[in-house]
Structure 1
Amino acid sequence: MARSARSDEEIKRDVVDQLYWDARVDASKVEVRVDGGRVRLTGALPSLLARRAAVMDTWDVAGVEHVEDAMNVIYPGGRDELTDDLLRENVLTALGWSPDLESETLDAQVKGGRVTIMGMVNAFWKKALAEEIVKGLRGVLDVANHLAVVPLHDMLDRTIAESVEAALERNALLDPSGVTVEVHDGIVTLSGLAESPAAARLAYLAATYTPGVINVHNQLVVRHYR
């Protein structure tokens, strides 16, 4: 259904309201600017998860066409007591506690609170899981995910594409008619139109959890509000 165009003032109002609604985000620390439906977030939040929540909240607002995350992470009290060596130990411990990850194949480097995850996993969703675990740790300012994905079994690109398409068809919240799925060497590219940012995320997750996938490029464009 077509929706009337929204002014930047309306979009900004709803983004600010959305941030204040979300208990994970200290909205008083975030500045919102909107220009032609493109939102820029600045400020400082106390964790990467809060920062991500602010971005996702913004995408959920009607009329938003792009979100620029220019926020920083500043931990309360600073990081003086948390050395990079201790943070690396915490990262490896947290990854090792996950029953879905093979900790012996994982490693990490830390420099100034910025974590690089290295090693190997056997599924793309596990690569994403490892990143989420690390982002939730105190003292982490940023995460670079360099994990290699090596599936346990080789799968034809055509088989992977058909599996992703079937997952999209089964999802009651998605209209797969506007989505094109292409797979090359296990790398999935989603293109076409999505009804909303939430629908684009659901399509991305459908590809993420499909066996044989080693990476997902989400190039879906959200339909403009007319």
Structure 2
Amino acid sequence: MTQTVLLSPEEMSASILDQLAWDDRVEAGDINVEVIGTTARLTGTVPSYADKRYAQIDAMQISGIMAVENQLVVEYPSYIGIPSDPDIQSNIKTILALHRNIPLSRIRIDVHEGVVLLEGSVDSQVQKEKVEELAADVSGVMDIRNDLAIVPTETYQDEGIAKSIIAAFIRNTSINMNDINISVANGIVTLSGVVHDWMTRRAAEEIAFFTGGVTSVNNRLIVRVGE
């Protein structure tokens, strides 16, 4: 069995920079990284909101990182014409309307100086993240505040949600079910126990979040490296 090595803040910073340089979705030349404890702070500039979003996703992939302070500033190149706020709003609605699994009628979109506010409700975490992903690719978006609530229109029983999560854990070879306790109350999932690396902790949380009927996840899993 391979033992996970606990990285120092400097090593985590270097790993994030390597990840950003590897990712062709991100123009990382003007991104600075600082790690304090288990939190990565990203500063500098990027040429689009999509770059900003992908940079945060990349940082979260690094072992030991539990949170990201994304302070990146979007600066569109001077040769790109920036659409007006009404045009940005209209373009986001048009893109969302192309995806039949997104309940556009339940989503409110406001734009002020390129900052997009998403309000209303969707059925799942998958839909919530998809809406933000699609909006992020619209030209002129400077930032996104995703306040969409997860309100399933289908009725789910807590016991059924727990069984679905357990089945997904069993299918995942990196997760040992003996290490994790699962409780579900009114769609809110709580994960507790001890796991042996950060990737397992993150994988367990993502699986729980993407399970139908789940509205939020309390991840109380403790990482004890090397045990």
Instruction: Please indicate the TM-score interval, normalised by the length of the shorter structure.
Output: 0.7 to 0.9
Are the aligned partners of 2:42 and 2:70 in contact in 1 as well (CA < 8 Å)? Answer: yes
Aligned to 2:129: 128
1:197, 1:4 → 2: CA distance? 11
Distance 1:127 1:67, change over 3 A: closer
- SS state of the match for residue 68, structure 1? strand
Are the aligned partners of 2:191 and 2:221 in contact in 1 as well (CA < 8 Å)? Answer: yes
TM-superposed CA distance for 1:75, in Å, is 2.0
The AA in structure 2 aligned to 1:212 is G
The AA in structure 2 aligned to 1:87 is I
1:64, 1:94 → 2: CA distance? 33
2:207 is equivalent to residue 206 of structure 1: yes
Are the aligned partners of 1:59 and 1:197 in contact in 2 as well (CA < 8 Å)? Answer: no
Aligned to 1:173: 174
The AA in structure 1 aligned to 2:174 is L
2:36, 2:170 → 1: CA distance? 35
TM-align CA RMSD: 2.8
Are the aligned partners of 2:106 and 2:121 in contact in 1 as well (CA < 8 Å)? Answer: yes
Aligned to 2:154: 153
TM-superposed CA distance for 1:35, in Å, is 4.3
- SS state of the match for residue 121, structure 2? strand
TM-superposed CA distance for 1:65, in Å, is 5.5
The AA in structure 2 aligned to 1:97 is L
Distance 1:15 1:102, change over 3 A: closer
The AA in structure 2 aligned to 1:125 is V
2:114 is equivalent to residue 110 of structure 1: no
1:39, 1:47 → 2: CA distance? 20
2:67, 2:124 → 1: CA distance? 29
2:156, 2:8 → 1: CA distance? 47
The AA in structure 2 aligned to 1:44 is T
Aligned counterparts, 1:35-114, within 5 A: 35-36=36-37, 38-64=39-65, 66-77=67-78, 81-114=82-115
- With normalisation by structure 1, the TM-score equals 0.83
Q: Which runs of 5+ in 1 are unaligned?
A: none
Are the aligned partners of 2:13 and 2:35 in contact in 1 as well (CA < 8 Å)? Answer: yes
- SS state of the match for residue 28, structure 1? coil
The AA in structure 1 aligned to 2:153 is L
Per-residue CA deviation, residues 58-115 of structure 1 (Å, 9 max, x unaligned), is: 3333454554322222222388641111111111111111121132332211112111
Aligned to 1:22: 23
- SS state of the match for residue 71, structure 2? strand
The alignment of Structure 1 onto Structure 2 pairs a total of residues equal to 226
Are the aligned partners of 1:63 and 1:225 in contact in 2 as well (CA < 8 Å)? Answer: no
Distance 1:35 1:121, change over 3 A: closer
- SS state of the match for residue 33, structure 2? strand
Distance 1:131 1:180, change over 3 A: farther
- SS state of the match for residue 189, structure 1? strand
TM-superposed CA distance for 1:224, in Å, is 4.2
Aligned to 1:139: 140
TM-superposed CA distance for 1:32, in Å, is 1.9
2:190 is equivalent to residue 189 of structure 1: yes
Are the aligned partners of 1:46 and 1:73 in contact in 2 as well (CA < 8 Å)? Answer: yes
1:116, 1:217 → 2: CA distance? 25
Distance 1:70 1:194, change over 3 A: farther
The AA in structure 2 aligned to 1:148 is A
- SS state of the match for residue 212, structure 1? coil
